[in-house]
Amino acid sequence: MLNPVVVVTGASRGIGLAVTRSLLKEHSARVVTLSRTRTPELSQLVQEHQQALLSIECDVTDESALQSAIARGNDYFGQMDGLILNAGTLDPLGRIDNPDSSLDSWKRHFDVNLFSLVPAIRASLPALRESKGKVIFISSGAAVGDIPGWAPYNAGKAAMNSLSRTLAKEEPLIVSLALAPGKVDTDMQANLRSAGAQHMTTTDYKIFIDAFNDGTLVNPYDVGYVIAGLSLGAPPSLSGQFVRWDNEECREFWRK
């Protein structure tokens, strides 16, 4: 049996890079990465895993390019067993009434965090139906939260979770799961610490500062290991669910 194939969006850094590394090094998977650019870290993985990693530069907001990239990956490896929808942005930060937060900036946010999911799923469904594969939506606690200053992100992740639930009902042969990775030590957290103070309440902002200072941010390679495992082995009982990576439902996928 050939090793499984997983497509990862937003794979050049942060959680996406950690997932890609875990799939290759710890789960013996083959991987198709989609990212706007190829970072030195991703390029190193390409050099180390030339037969198992296909890296495609692709802007997920370009519908045609995104669908073509997924088709190219499917043609290259001949199968798809998992799709990890990780590409995302936090911008724009700001209250709903912020005059500096234009409607166009909200639309760009939703193009990345929500609307890009649709062509990615559509392009992947034929192969995923055949493999009875998995779709892992990288969501957030913001999907059920209400942090002031995060309105686009809160709304976009809530919509993502709804899309995951609907996909689970429409495609019973495919496991569709939304996962919250927690506060992960990535560039997004660094950007939040540098720019969040002017947009968030003092109490909310302090939570993120304290998590960094106390060393309690999640290691991306720990959560990446869980996401990688779920993309290959998430059980049907989790389909349509929204879970945290460190909840009991994911225990069997934790690094031993």
The pLDDT value given to residue 256:
84
Which H or E run includes 48? helix 40-48
Do 92 and 105 contact (CB within 8 A), yes or no? yes
Angstrom distance (rounded) from CA 54 to CA 18: 16
Is 183 a residue of the active site?
no
Is 169 a residue of the active site?
no
The pLDDT value given to residue 1:
63
Angstrom distance (rounded) from CA 37 to CA 84: 18
Is 153 a residue of the active site?
yes
Q: Active site residue: 35, 153, 225, 231, which one?
A: 153
**Domains of the chain and CATH, by start:** 5-183+219-253 (3.40.50.720)
Q: Active site residue: 55, 139, 176, 239, which one?
A: 139
The closest alpha carbon to 160, from 184, 182, 180, belongs to 180
Sheet holding 30-35, edge to edge: 53-57, 30-35, 5-9, 82-85, 134-138, 175-180, 242-244
Q: Whole-model pTM?
A: 0.97
Angstrom distance (rounded) from CA 207 to CA 209: 6
The pLDDT value given to residue 100:
87
- How does pLDDT run along the chain (256 residues), one tens digit per residue? 689 999 999 999 999 999 999 999 999 999 999 999 999 999 999 999 999 999 999 999 999 999 999 999 999 999 999 999 999 999 999 999 998 889 999 999 999 999 999 999 999 999 999 999 999 999 999 999 999 999 999 999 999 999 999 999 999 999 999 999 999 999 999 999 999 999 999 999 999 999 999 999 999 999 999 999 999 999 999 999 999 999 999 999 999 8
The pLDDT value given to residue 205:
97
The pLDDT value given to residue 57:
97
Q: Active site residue: 116, 157, 176, 225, which one?
A: 157
Contacts of 152 (CB under 8 A, 6+ apart): 92, 105, 106, 109, 110, 113
